[in-house]
Chain A
Amino acid sequence: MEESCDTHLEAAMTVAFERLLSTWGLDVWREICYNQSQADLVMASNAEGRQMRTSNVNTAVRVGHRGRIFTLVEMLMVVAIIGILMALLLPMLREAKIQAKFVRWVAFNRNCSNDPTCVVNFNFQGNGPAFSTPPPGDVLINSASGSQNSDFKPELYNGYLKNNNDPSAHHNFEWVRSGRFGRYKWALRFNGADTYVVMPGTKEINFTPYTSFTVLCWLKFDKMGLGDCPFSKSLWGTASDASCQYDLYAMPWSGQFGQGSFDVDVFTTCGTWPNTEVDFDKAGWVHLALRYKYLETNASGDAEGEITVFINGKALGNYINITSQNPYTAAATEWKTCADLSIPLILGGAGCYRKYWSASTWDPNDTSLANTWVIKFLFQGLMDEFLVYKRALSDGEIKGHYDMGKP
């Protein structure tokens, strides 16, 4: 009785299986032989007249019309082996690809350091094995070494990690693996509350409207807050009293003017872009480049230059000149260019005049830098790579920086 039940069950399964295969259109598998009564299945080979005996296999596939056997078990084993091999090989291939990209980036970055016009190059890497450890201590090492000036000392342009609330206290930065090149690349997390980096040297990064320059960096915003400033060499004050060389800050809230994602200040010009085509909060790593190209001196003796911002290697179009086009900031034309002002370059914050932005802590009789400025509008997010060139890089060079560094 039990045997009869089993036989019926097996027969029903066979029919169901054949119907299933038929439904899928797999005609070649329709010749499934399901031997219910014998343990062995013997099938003849039409091509060579041989016999093949398959022991203990009761499910087989006759391939085509020649009668060769290719069991499902064998098929599954092949599939499993291929799957296992791919599971092993694909991560290894991925790791090799990331490592190759990282090595390529390292070579490119070293090449940048040797550029005679490169004065600042923070690669955010240490000097450990394979160049893949975070920098030691609380210093970003400036690896630029090819300045045109013979008295150029790169160590003067090292970046010092600071705590805004207490410069003598331990900073609150975090070193994290950036994810740009897997586990190899490091990035610095600015917390938006008290972290900034300062470069004491100013001579090589003091620019005037008569000198071209380019600033490049990789950023990952946690959230763009109004005024959050990734880098600044300025002293923000009032509309009629501010000193500015160059800076870039977030301006994400919509409005009639300055409705772009960020503004840039270059000397006496404040520019903004209405549409950057990038949602910075969701874009992940973003490559930003600010380029100022000196063009000519006009009839009145003033320098005329061109400001361009690149996002991910692509130049943004014309900007809205807030200083001249925004009726609410007409007085901003009184800004000074601060070419002779020895204020340091700051990463992760904006330099502001203490007398305007923290008047209660300002001593009018003290002319020291610490009393002159105060760091505000701190940036929250990750920074990786920061370079300053004393020339206007071409569009292709900026695209090259992006291509070499993109994740």
Chain B
Amino acid sequence: MAEQNMVSMLWRDKEARKWGICVLLFVALTSLVLYRIFHTEKLPPPGAKRAVICQKCGKLQVLRIVDPETPKARCAYCGGRVGMAWKCGHCGYEYYIVNFKFDARNLSTMERLRKVESLRRCPNCGEIKDVRPMSVNEVEDELKRRGE
């Protein structure tokens, strides 16, 4: 009864009512802001598992890569920069490529695509056409075979 009286008294009191509403609004808004901060929509982590070769130690490995042109991931063995692992179908050479950007102005679409292809050239035999990015499963199989 006393509590009821207190609530009714509070409600009748203009000042108390004003400040009570303000406090409740403040709590609600703060909760909403905190909720928005801590409960943002969770997107899956960017990047795909790719076969890479360390530019420093040459180790073949599988890492999650977001940008294949300039990968930020570091070698798991030595911490060096890595490049996308490619394999030449002609000579079987495994190599890496990075930073294959170029000035594409005044090039036709087809020329641009050809240029991209040429930048993936095998450094061992110069082959352009028969080269391909290495598969994750073939690298994992290779690492298992080596016992790494």
Establish whether residues B106 and A328, one from each chain, have CB atoms under 8 Å apart when the complex forms: yes
Establish whether residues A226 and B113, one from each chain, have CB atoms under 8 Å apart when the complex forms: yes
Q: CB-defined interface of A234-251 with B at 8 Å, one 1/0 digit per residue?
A: 001011001000000001
Establish whether residues A172 and B137, one from each chain, have CB atoms under 8 Å apart when the complex forms: yes
Given the complex of chains A and B, what is the CA–CA distance between A256 and B112 in angstroms? 12
Given the complex of chains A and B, what is the CA–CA distance between A89 and B127 in angstroms? 62
Number of interface residues of A (CB under 8 A): 82
Tell which of A28, A166, A194 touches B19, judged by Cβ atoms closer than 8 Å. A28
Beyond A79-B23, A174-B48, whether A163 also contacts B13 by CB under 8 A is no
A-B contact pairs, 21 of them (CB 8 A): A28-B16, A63-B9, A75-B23, A164-B132, A170-B137, A178-B43, A178-B44, A179-B44, A191-B136, A193-B51, A194-B133, A220-B43, A225-B68, A226-B113, A255-B104, A255-B107, A270-B109, A358-B129, A360-B90, A361-B130, A407-B41
Given the complex of chains A and B, what is the CA–CA distance between A46 and B9 in angstroms? 11
A12 contacts across to B, CB distance below 8 A: none
| Residue B42 CB within 8 A of the other chain | yes
Min C-beta distance of A239 to chain B, whole Å:
5
Q: CB-defined interface of A316-332 with B at 8 Å, one 1/0 digit per residue?
A: 00000010001011001
| Residue A8 CB within 8 A of the other chain | no
Give the residues from 39 to 97 in chain A that come closer than 8 angstroms, CB to CB, to chain B. Answer: 45, 47-48, 50, 52, 63-64, 66, 68-70, 75, 79, 82-83, 86-87, 90-91, 94
A26 contacts across to B, CB distance below 8 A: 19
Establish whether residues B129 and A359, one from each chain, have CB atoms under 8 Å apart when the complex forms: yes
Give the residues from 121 to 145 in chain B that come closer than 8 angstroms, CB to CB, to chain A. Answer: 127, 129-130, 132-138
Establish whether residues B129 and A322, one from each chain, have CB atoms under 8 Å apart when the complex forms: no
Establish whether residues A222 and B31, one from each chain, have CB atoms under 8 Å apart when the complex forms: no
| Residue A313 CB within 8 A of the other chain | no
Residue of A nearest to B1 (CB): A50
Q: CB-defined interface of A264-289 with B at 8 Å, one 1/0 digit per residue?
A: 00000010000000000000110000
Min C-beta distance of B20 to chain A, whole Å:
9
Min C-beta distance of B17 to chain A, whole Å:
9
A332 contacts across to B, CB distance below 8 A: 108-110
| Residue B76 CB within 8 A of the other chain | no
Given the complex of chains A and B, what is the CA–CA distance between A222 and B69 in angstroms? 11
Give the residues from 84 to 116 in chain A that come closer than 8 angstroms, CB to CB, to chain B. Answer: 86-87, 90-91, 94
Beyond A86-B28, A174-B49, whether A329 also contacts B112 by CB under 8 A is no
Q: B residues within 8 Å of A by Cβ? A: 2, 5-6, 9-10, 13-16, 19, 23-24, 27-28, 31-32, 35, 39, 41-44, 46-51, 66-69, 84, 89-90, 101-102, 104-113, 116-117, 127, 129-130, 132-138
B134 contacts across to A, CB distance below 8 A: 165, 193
Tell which of A82, A91, A178, A191 touches B28, judged by Cβ atoms closer than 8 Å. A82
Establish whether residues B44 and A187, one from each chain, have CB atoms under 8 Å apart when the complex forms: yes
| Residue A253 CB within 8 A of the other chain | yes
B44 contacts across to A, CB distance below 8 A: 176-179, 187, 189, 382
Min C-beta distance of B98 to chain A, whole Å:
13
| Residue A209 CB within 8 A of the other chain | no
Establish whether residues A189 and B48, one from each chain, have CB atoms under 8 Å apart when the complex forms: yes
Q: In the A-B complex, list the 10 residue pairs whose CB atoms are closest, starting with the nearest.
A: A191-B48, A193-B133, A329-B108, A179-B43, A328-B108, A64-B13, A86-B31, A223-B67, A176-B44, A63-B16
Give the residues from 170 to 224 in chain A that come closer than 8 angstroms, CB to CB, to chain B. Answer: 170, 172, 174, 176-179, 182, 187, 189-194, 220, 222-223
Establish whether residues A163 and B43, one from each chain, have CB atoms under 8 Å apart when the complex forms: no
Given the complex of chains A and B, what is the CA–CA distance between A285 and B130 in angstroms? 34
| Residue A130 CB within 8 A of the other chain | no
Given the complex of chains A and B, what is the CA–CA distance between A223 and B64 in angstroms? 13
Given the complex of chains A and B, what is the CA–CA distance between A357 and B127 in angstroms? 12
Establish whether residues A169 and B106, one from each chain, have CB atoms under 8 Å apart when the complex forms: no
Beyond A28-B19, A191-B50, A226-B116, whether A179 also contacts B105 by CB under 8 A is no
Establish whether residues B66 and A222, one from each chain, have CB atoms under 8 Å apart when the complex forms: yes
A94 contacts across to B, CB distance below 8 A: 39
Given the complex of chains A and B, what is the CA–CA distance between A192 and B43 in angstroms? 19
Given the complex of chains A and B, what is the CA–CA distance between A175 and B130 in angstroms? 30
B135 contacts across to A, CB distance below 8 A: 163-166, 169, 172, 193-194
Given the complex of chains A and B, what is the CA–CA distance between A63 and B136 in angstroms? 70
Min C-beta distance of A361 to chain B, whole Å:
6
Given the complex of chains A and B, what is the CA–CA distance between A322 and B107 in angstroms? 11
Given the complex of chains A and B, what is the CA–CA distance between A164 and B32 in angstroms? 48
Establish whether residues A68 and B13, one from each chain, have CB atoms under 8 Å apart when the complex forms: yes
Given the complex of chains A and B, what is the CA–CA distance between A229 and B97 in angstroms? 20
B19 contacts across to A, CB distance below 8 A: 26, 28-29
| Residue A230 CB within 8 A of the other chain | no
Establish whether residues A258 and B50, one from each chain, have CB atoms under 8 Å apart when the complex forms: no
Given the complex of chains A and B, what is the CA–CA distance between A82 and B137 in angstroms? 53
Min C-beta distance of B34 to chain A, whole Å:
9
